[in-house]
Amino acid sequence: MRRRDFLEWPFFTPAHRDLAERVDSWAAQRFARQAHDADAHPEDRDSVDAACRERVRDLGRAGWTRYSVPLDPEGPAAEFDVRALALIRETLAWHDGLADFAFAMQGLGSGAICLAGSPEIKRRYLPRVAAGEAIAAFALSEADAGSDVAAIKCSARRESQDGSDIYVLDGQKTWISNGGIADFYCVFARTSPPELRPDGSVTARGISAFVVDAQTPGFSIARRIDLIAPHPLATIAFTGCRIPAAQRLGAEGEGFKLAMRTLDIFRTSVAGAALGFAQRALDEALKHSLARPMFGKTLADLQLTQAALADMATEVDAARLQTYRAAWLRDRGETVTQEVAMAKMAATESAQRAIDRAVQIFGGRGVVHGETVERLYRDIRALRIYEGATEVQKLIIARELLNSARRA
């Protein structure tokens, strides 16, 4: 089975196959020098920012970020092609983790606008996102509200200013990807105080969504955060940040549902990215084990190596089936909460194992800065945490299972 054979699976249309091949050829050319180019994986913050901006622009010019926003942004309901999103992410991740990140954030950062923005807001932001001319960010998490995201405290108070309706935002958001380089942020904030359940947990009511431009007075970058696999990330702050009420996305109090709907669409593409990293690790491990002389043979001739390769290939294949099944079901309009959670967990967890095996197969070289498998080892880690950590996916799967067992 060759790397791209899965494109023949019945989950895809001819247009998907064509798209995946075109993205692959483009990325192969765009990132051709990468393996030997120290600048391709910059570590210092300014270079990371510049490299990320450049990738957004290049992805836009090549036409790929057009898939991050629905084809008809003026339409009554946003239609995402989840298979296309996952295929693009898998392909980009195979070639370049930062390109995958840049692509993913254009979608996640503008998803709430696609789903609930007014026609005027859609017109103002989406064409520039699709063209790679504006950088988007999704600002939900807070220091004390990550997995327990309903516990957010950032507030949006409605006021009147010179006869116009405005909201005044106060508080902080953290772990915000593209924080520091984004042109705008889709921000989730409380428009009414938290309601507590008897057990002390917070309900999801009273949260609303807004678009905030990066130049708005009262918005600032509180702190930049440096990651093991660098991409722009920051804690952002709102201090009496006044925005027109027309910048609200959807109805007041409906923000939590909007955040979850946005994540529901893009979570499958996280699994796609994990597949790209895992497949790259498998390809590197195959190449290296065939080339590495050992005990008068090659590393590939040793049965323990073969066992590792077999485990890697089987896990990647299983995760890929789950991922594209979830994407296919979603594109058919079905409710796929359980399938998406399974795909995200299976793909990210198995990718971590596959990459770890590849590092082991490379021996000492596997932990040297600049080696592809070393970069993959760092690239994969955050995917098991963001957009719902593995433990959260397990809770979702179990909840769905138990609910249907109770109904039966």
Ligand X SMILES: Cc1cc2nc3c(=O)[nH]c(=O)nc-3n(C[C@H](O)[C@H](O)[C@H](O)COP(=O)(O)OP(=O)(O)OC[C@H]3O[C@@H](n4cnc5c(N)ncnc54)[C@H](O)[C@@H]3O)c2cc1C
Residues forming the site for ligand X (CB under 6 A): 138-141, 146-147, 175-177, 227, 233, 382, 385-386, 389, 391-392, 395
Strand-strand pairing, 184-190 and 136-139: parallel
Q: How far is the CB of 246 from ligand X (least distance, A)?
A: 23
Q: Which is nearer to ligand X, 298 or 337 (CB)?
A: 337
Helix and strand numbers (H, E) in the chain are: 10, 10
Q: How far is the CB of 106 from ligand X (least distance, A)?
A: 12
Rounded to whole angstroms, the Cα distance separating 296 from 103 reads 45
Q: How far is the CB of 209 from ligand X (least distance, A)?
A: 12
Q: Are 157 and 173 within 8 A, CB to CB?
A: no
Q: Which is nearer to ligand X, 231 or 288 (CB)?
A: 231
Q: How far is the CB of 331 from ligand X (least distance, A)?
A: 24
Distances (CA, A) of 364 to 139, 169, 282, 283, 343: 39, 51, 17, 18, 32
Comparing every residue's Cβ against ligand X, the nearest one is: 146
DSSP code at position 201: P
Angle between helices 14-30 and 45-62 (to 10 degrees): 140
Q: Which is nearer to ligand X, 40 or 395 (CB)?
A: 395
Q: How far is the CB of 147 from ligand X (least distance, A)?
A: 3
Distances (CA, A) of 100 to 84, 105, 107, 356: 13, 9, 11, 20
Q: Which is nearer to ligand X, 297 or 394 (CB)?
A: 394
DSSP code at position 199: T
Catalytic residues: 387
Taking residue 240's Cβ as centre, other Cβ atoms within 10 Å add up to: 10
Q: How far is the CB of 307 from ligand X (least distance, A)?
A: 30
Report phi then psi at 388, rounded to 5. Answer: 95, 105
Q: Are 206 and 193 within 8 A, CB to CB?
A: yes
Q: Which is nearer to ligand X, 179 or 288 (CB)?
A: 179
Q: What kind and span of H or E run contains 243?
A: strand 233-244
Q: Which is nearer to ligand X, 166 or 236 (CB)?
A: 236
